[in-house]
Structure formats: structure tokens, C-alpha cells
A and B are shown apart, each in its own frame.
Chain A
Amino acid sequence: MRVAIIDYGSGNLRSATKAFQRDVVKAGLPHEITLTDDPEVVAKSSHIVLPGVGAYADCRAGLDAVSGMFEAIEEAVEKRGQPFLGICVGTQLMATRGLEKATTPGFDWIKGDVKLITPSDPNLKIPQIGWNTLEIQNPHPLFEGVPTGENGLHAYFVHSYHINAEKPENVIATADYGGPVTAFVADGNKAGAQFHPEKSQRLGHLLITNFLKWKP
């Protein structure tokens, strides 16, 4: 079992890699964690992780700059049905389009646009930076055993945009920030966190371990 964390010049790759390595060790799993910019490795991996930090258009351009990478992701995720986990902008790339700064096409796996969050309370700041709890909207195997709700664990968010999903069933979890903010999306074998599991301490550990064991 090989978990490919895709290196396309974006994101806090060391943190993500270390977090997955920690969880493999802690859970006694056989997975090998590989940080890679090689499409051939990605195409053959058993789990695909797409991190992403920065502006939407830059991330998309960075991914497209790695020749054959998007095709490799499609090969693994769409053709072979391997589990996929997006993180932050990596998750936003799953949507139809990103509307940050310019209109940029995403993968169109989750129908909907990536829009600026618009908290109803004008005192709430943008970006949302910090720890928030999650409300489950549609139960999902990746949240099995993860305490959620008002008294649940917290997830770490740093973002100004989120996926405005067209299909309510794609929204697995939301966070309340002057109204619901999309925190986790999924469709079949594809899932994505708007927050940072690799920075979310206990919640992140539980979620990543569930992802490693996930058989969608």
C-alpha cells in the first residue's frame, strides 16, 4: 500500500508527510508514505493525497505544470477507484470552478464553485483562522469514531474561500462561522477537508487513520 502525497510546489508538504507517517506508525498500518512529483508513482498508488496552500489559480497552474500529473490522478482515482483526500486548496480543486482572484476550472468532481466565505456577523474576520468544531451533515466513514458537534474535537482552519456545493449530499461536515462553512466534502472514493487534518492534533490523527483504512 503506497500513499502518494502529491508534491507540486504548493503546500506545507513536510507537515502533511510527517502527519501521515506518524499515523501509520501509531495505528500499526503497513502503508508506505511517499511525497512525490512523479505521475507514474501517483498512478500506481493505493491512496492519493492532494495538499494545497495559496491562491486557487496558482495551485491549479502548479499542478498543471507537472506534466501528466492530473492524468495520473484521474488514472488512480477515477479509473482504479483508489481513495483520494484533498487538503485545503487541494480540496477546493475538486470543485467545478474556483472564483478566487480569477475564474479557474477545477476537477469538477464536486459540483459547485469555490466562493468567498460571507459570515453574517460583520465582526467575524476573513480569513477564518483557528480552531472550530464540525457539524456532520451526512455521516461518512472517515468520521467514524471522531467526536463532532458542539462538544466534539476541533479542526484547524486557515481559509477565506470554501466550496459552495450544489448537491447537499456532497457536504459531509460544516463549521459555523456566521453561518455554515463547508468543512468536508465527499463523493464516492473522493473526499476533501477544507481544514488541515495534518495540523488538527487529535481530530486530524483520527481522520487520517480512517482515511488510511478506508475501502470505498
Chain B
Amino acid sequence: MTLKARVIPCLDVKDGRVVKGVSFVDLVDAGDPVESAKAYDAAGADELCFLDITASSDNRDTIFDVVARTAEHCFMPVTVGGGVRTTGDIRKLLLAGADKVSINSAAVKNPDFVAEAADKFGNQCIVGSIDAKRVSKPGETPRWEIFTHGGRTPTGIDAVQFAHTLVEKGAGELLLTSMDQDGQKSGYDIELTRTIADSVSVPVIASGGVGTLDHLVEGVRDGHATAVLAASIFHFGTYTIGEAKQYMANHGIAMRLDPPGE
């Protein structure tokens, strides 16, 4: 029929462990990212995202082990981001079993890194990750800027322009996170999502702010995203992946509702 909208649960991983844990099913070890990945795979998630927030460079290798162990058990697409700085990092993640790799700070520092990565591994496996914050005042023409360091450090780079730069350099997809909305549970920044989704040729994943299933619907219907990413509503069992997908389908969005599992 047509391509379906994707629901992507995102797991924050630090030193090889899930931050805060996942409580939606009885996992043997709620802190093991692989256990969570298996549960999401079985639940019919369309894709999985690991975000490595390991601070110490000593523990950077833990993510490779997480990805490799996930690939042993899960036969779903996996995107990995966080701390990706060299083509060597990307190669190791892909060999471990990642399908796509998202690049954030390294692209802000040097957009040509995206071009280098896309040339080597193909546009389709490079996700440009954008952390944007609204800098215009109410009533002004909306404007968003790229922030780094978890939304603390402004860069002066216009978010919409940066999105274009990433696509020109070869990013095959954009992961767009509103730093204003992240963790607020009041919905995506729809204006930001739509502004970027409507002006680039590649798919956009909406991220940051999901608190209800309506927010997922809005991300696709109003924000024109082709995929919606969420974390806590799934991790804490507020909603299951199945409920989310059924709800979106009931609201007129084409979804993959295959019976879950292998």
C-alpha cells in the first residue's frame, strides 16, 4: 500500500546500562539495554534507538557490546547515536549490528564529517541529529538555534539552515529534538518539526516532549514527520507500542500492524 509511519522507542544508555531502567514489562534485568530491546522487538516497535550518554571515554566501548548483544536477539532496525566522532566509530557500530548511526556534536563542529561518513557508508545509514531550541520571542518570526551539551550551550547556528547543511552533506535522515520540549511531556515542537520536515528532501524523526498518544499523532499529521521517537511513555509502561500504533492508525495514519514477534 504505502510506507508506514514508524514508532521508535529510544533507550538512553550509560556505561552499558539503561538510564532509569525500563519498567513496562517484567524484565529479568531492567537495566540491561538488551533485555529492553528484546521486549520492544517482541512488542512490534518499528525501529529501536540507542543513545549512548556515557561520559567517560574509558567506558565508550560498552555501547559496542550492547549493540552486538542486541543483534544476537533482535531482528529489527537499530539506530545508535551519542559520541560518534570518527568513521572508525561508525564502522565499529555497523559491524556490531547497527543499521544507522546518528551524528550530533561532531557534525556541529565539522559538517564535513557527515559528508565523509556518507561517502564511506552511504547516505542511508547516516542520521543527522539536531538539538534545537527556540530563540525567538513570542510574536516574532519563529527561529531555532542549535544547542550542544544537552541544551546548555548555544552555537549561534540556525536550526533550519543546519538541517539543510546536514542533508547537503549527505545525511539520509534527520533526528530532530526540541530541547525546549524534551522531558516536558507536553508534545513535540510541531512548528519546528513541520518547518524542517517541509523544507528537506529526507525523512524527519520527531523527538522530544511526548506525554500522550495524541502527541505521536500530531508529530506525523501536523509536524509532517515520517517517524516518531519517544522514551518515557514506553519505558514506564504508560502506553505499549501496540497501543500507540493502534491509536495512530485509528487517527488515519498508515501504520504497520503486523502481528508482533517472529
* Chain A contacts to B: CB under 8 angstroms: 12-15, 18-19, 22, 26, 53-55, 58, 89, 123-133, 150, 153-154, 156-160, 175-177, 196, 198-205
Specify which chain B residues have a CB less than 8 angstroms from the CB of A58 in the assembled complex: 120, 122
The interface on chain B, measured as residues whose beta carbon lies within 8 A of the other chain's beta carbons, has a size of 43
Are the C-beta atoms of B75 and A15 separated by less than 8 Å? yes
Contacts of A175 in B (CB 8 A): 3
Residues of chain B with a CB closer than 8 A to A159's CB: 124
Proximity bits, B57-87, A CB within 8 Å = 1, else 0: 0000000000010011001110000000000
User: Does chain A have a CB within 8 A of B1?
Assistant: yes
Closest to A158 in B: B124
Q: List 5 A-B contacts (CB under 8 A).
A: A55-B122, A127-B173, A129-B227, A156-B76, A199-B76
Partner of B125, one of A126, A158, A176: A158
User: Which of B99, B204, B226 has its CB near the most chain A CB atoms (within 10 A)?
Assistant: B99
Minimum Cβ distance to chain B for residue A14 (Å)? 4
Q: Is the CB of B123 within 8 A of A127?
A: yes
Extra contacts besides A127-B202, A176-B1 (11): CB < 8 Å: A18-B75, A127-B203, A130-B3, A130-B47, A132-B4, A133-B1, A154-B4, A158-B99, A175-B3, A201-B261, A205-B262
User: Contacts of B6 on A, CB cut-off 8 Å?
Assistant: 129-131
- Cα-based distance from A18 to B71 in the complex (angstroms): 7
Bound form: Cα–Cα A202–B204 in Å: 26
Does B2 touch A at the CB level, under 8 Å? yes
**B46 at interface, CB cutoff 8 A:** yes
Alpha-carbon separation in the docked complex, A160 to B122 (Å): 10
Asked if B125 and A15 make an inter-chain contact with CB atoms under 8 angstroms apart, the answer reads no
Residues of B within 8 A of A (CB): 1-6, 41, 46-47, 68, 71-72, 75-77, 94-100, 119-125, 172-173, 201-204, 224, 226-227, 256, 258-259, 261-262
Q: Chain A residues near B98 (CB, 8 Å)?
A: 12
Q: Are B120 and A129 in contact (CB under 8 A)?
A: no
Q: Which of B46, B71, B122 has the most C-beta atoms of chain A within 10 angstroms of its own C-beta?
A: B122
Q: Establish whether residues A198 and B201, one from each chain, have CB atoms under 8 Å apart when the complex forms.
A: no
Write out the residue numbers on chain A whose beta carbons fall within 8 Å of the beta carbon of B202.
Answer: 125-127
Residues of chain A within 8 A (CB-CB) of B75 are 15, 18-19, 22, 198-201, 204-205
The answer to whether B123 and A199 have CB atoms under 8 Å apart is no
Query: In the bound complex, what is the Cα–Cα distance between A95 and B6 (angstroms)?
Result: 30
Query: Chain B nearest CB: distance from A179 CB in Å?
Result: 11
Q: Tell me if A130 and B94 are in contact (CB < 8 A).
A: no
| Complex CA distance for A158 and B203, rounded to whole angstroms | 11
